[in-house]
A = this chain, B = another copy of it.
Amino acid sequence: MADSRPIGVFDSGLGGLTVAKALRSLLPNESIVYFGDTARVPYGNKSSELIKEYSLEIADFLMKHDAKLIVVACNTASALALDELQQHCTIPVIGVINPGAAEAVKTTRNNHIGIIGTVATISSKAYEKAMEDLNAEIQTSSHACPLLVPLAEEGWLEGEVTNSIVNHYLSPLNNNKIDTLILGCTHYPLLKDVIANQVNDETILIDSASAVARAVKKNLLDTNQLNDMDEKGRLTCFVTDIPMRFEDVGQRFLGSPMDHVQTVHDI
């Protein structure tokens, strides 16, 4: 079957383009409608009420654009609004927390998993709950890292300052002897090299983007909704603002220039 409707992907800003990139790599035929809420980014420090309200508005937008499935690429929105989104939407909604948590539980050897993310994601304990449901033996250690998002957006992806900041956040997790670390924010894959240098040698990093892409593929296969046409899918991006340095930042996350970008007022 050829279900040519697009996959809807949303994030508080442009960080979710790392998920769009993983989807394009695994499912090159699928079209993607990406929604980045750049006027209201970041979500990571906002209240849970506001994050839920924004997430439902965006889901409605993506359904109006005929999405066959919605990927919540934002860890913060996945942590705080996934239940509401799944109740609200008439199409499947996949967040980044459950696929990332499942990958981490499969990966750990000593059952001690670390999680880093925004203040909102870490406070929600969403990763902890997802992992406990999978394996009650899992121990977790988590740390909110508010400076990593601006560091990634600023493009300071290496160097002494970045190393010191990452080291500051990760030291307590290293001391707790984690062997697996979840990068619980779409911005963090950009800092993967620095993070890898600052964790204990045996620690494996879990980047949710590819785990999410696999979860999407499985869902579309199970529901017979894959687009099996030969044509390459199209990526259309909607944003709520064209902020300063938009193109630089977008390209950094997507790994290629952003085309077909439209600005949306009053979603």
Q: Determine the distance from Cα of A168 to Cα of B160 in the docked complex, in whole angstroms.
A: 11
Cα–Cα, bound, A39→B57 (Å): 15
Q: Is the CB of B50 within 8 A of A46?
A: no
Residue from the list B123, B147, B242 in contact with A244, Cβ < 8 A: B123
CB distance from A142 to the nearest CB of B (A): 15
A37 CB, min distance to chain B CBs, angstroms: 11
Kindly supply a per-residue 1/0 record for chain A positions 128-166, scoring 1 wherever the CB is within 8 Å of any chain B CB and 0 otherwise. 000000000000000000110111011010001100110
**What is the total number of copies of this protein in its complex?**
2
Q: A40-B39, A147-B147 are in contact. Are A244 and B120 (CB under 8 A)?
A: yes
Q: Judging by beta carbons under 8 Å apart, are A160 and B154 in contact? A: no
Note all chain B residues with C-beta closer than 8 A to A38.
46
Chain B minimum-CB-distance residue to A160 = B164
A241 within 8 A of B: yes
* Closest chain B CB from A267 CB (angstroms): 14
Complex alpha-carbon distance, A243 and B123, angstroms: 12
A243 contact set on B, CB distance < 8 A: 45-47
Which residues of A in the span 194-247 have a Cβ within 8 Å of any Cβ on B?
241-245
Chain B residues with CB below 8 A from A22, complex form: none
Contacts of A150 in B (CB 8 A): 146-147, 149-150
Does A119 make an interface contact (CB < 8 A)?
A: yes
Q: Are A241 and B164 neighbours in the complex by a CB distance under 8 Å?
A: no
Instruction: Report which of B119, B120, B151, B244 forms a contact with A119, defined as CB distance below 8 A.
Output: B244
Chain B residue nearest to A148 (CB atoms) is: B150
Q: How far is the CB of A169 from chain B (nearest CB, A)?
A: 10
A164 to B242, CA, bound (A): 30
A42 nearest in chain B by CB position: B42
Give me 27 A-to-B residue pairs in the complex whose CB atoms sit less than 8 angstroms apart, sorted by A's number.
Answer: A38-B46, A39-B46, A40-B40, A44-B244, A45-B243, A45-B244, A45-B245, A46-B241, A46-B243, A46-B244, A47-B241, A50-B241, A119-B244, A123-B244, A146-B150, A146-B153, A146-B154, A147-B150, A147-B151, A147-B154, A149-B150, A150-B150, A160-B164, A161-B161, A161-B165, A161-B168, A164-B164
